[in-house]
Amino acid sequence: MIKRFLAVSAAAAIVAVAGVFAIGWPLATPVQTHVGKPPEDLGARPVEFKSDSGAIVHGWWCPTTTSRGAVLLLPGIRANRLSMVHRARFLRRAGYSVLLIDFQATGETKGDHITFGWKESRDVNAAVDFIHAVDPQDHIAIIGSSLGGVAALLATPPLKVDALVLEAVYPTIEIATRNRMQNYLGAFGGMLTPLLLGQLQLRLGVSAAQLRPVDHITYVECPVLIMSGEKDRNTRPGDTRMLLERARCPKQLWFVPNAGHVDLDRAARGEYETRVLAFLAQMAKSQ
């Protein structure tokens, strides 16, 4: 009886470990796709530039003739620049030039693995350098959704930008992983979190200690607007407040009503645009 129990327990453990690896494997798998031509109303031209991530970053540069500054749009995990088109549209209508990019291992930018913000942070540095090269005097703001916001915070050295909008950004990879495992598997999922995190070093060459945006936000010197969805189960209200507490002033917080994860602009489109434009306008006046 004891042998049978041990055998069943061992088999269950093997299945659990295999299941965790099956969950983790596709999350880091590249999502390459042909993005296609930019929408005509963006007035965009395709661009590419080198990144220290090892990738040639592909994107769209959408300049305006009377620019109020430039906004870099950074998509979430496994997404590409197409997910940021709506933001680009209302920002251009307001007079901002816009740069949309595909992170390494997504869209048309090649890469071996998605790294949850680690290599992607080098792509952010390269994108900011691109904008500075186009117009050294231009003010630069960043809007980063989920992984995009993580990559902006992990950039080293800290980015020299004028405003930062963070949407649904995890404070630490441990918290982000535990939340998702609990969403799928309940309390048992939380217990399996260390197994999933153990794949980071093995597959990606990065440790959980290197994926802690909460430790980096304190070095951000520009004004910050932090957003999260009221119904977000991946980045929960307590996680968002953790980032807010560590951020320097001036800082703002907005929990978007009825929003989940990375759907903030769709859940409250009018108010989203109003708040973002007011934040960017205020930062421009302070320069």
Q: What are the 10-residue block averages of pLDDT along the chain, 287 residues in total?
A: 45 44 68 96 97 98 89 97 97 96 98 96 98 90 98 95 97 93 78 82 89 97 96 96 96 96 90 97 67
| Whether the bond into 237 is cis, omega within 30 of 0 | no
Nearest to 196 by CA among 16, 67, 12, 4: 16
pLDDT score at 191? 78
pLDDT score at 75? 98
pLDDT score at 26? 72
Number of Cβ atoms within 10 Å of the Cβ of 186? 10
**Residue 32, class by beta-carbon neighbours within 10 Å (0-12 exposed, 13-18 middle, 19+ buried)?**
middle
Q: What class has domain 38-171+211-286?
A: alpha beta
pLDDT score at 2? 57
pLDDT score at 1? 56
The pTM of the full predicted model, rounded to 2 decimals, is 0.90
Residues 150, 168: Cα–Cα separation, whole Å: 9
Residues 274, 269: Cα–Cα separation, whole Å: 9
Where do the structural domains in the chain lie, given as residue ranges? Answer: 1-29+173-205, 38-171+211-286
What tokens appear for 143 in the block? 């809007």
Contact 72, 124 (CB under 8 A): yes
Chain-centroid distance of CA 4 in Å reads 47
The answer to whether the Cα torsion of 9, 12, 18, 20 is positive or negative is negative
Nearest to 101 by CA among 41, 162, 53: 53
Grouping H, G, I as helix, E, B as strand and the rest as coil, residue 258 is coil
DSSP per residue, 91-120? HHHTT-EEEEEPPTTEETB--S---TTTTH
Chain-centroid distance of CA 1 in Å reads 51
Find where tokens 């153990």 sit: 198
Find where tokens 């320097």 sit: 248
pLDDT score at 12? 40
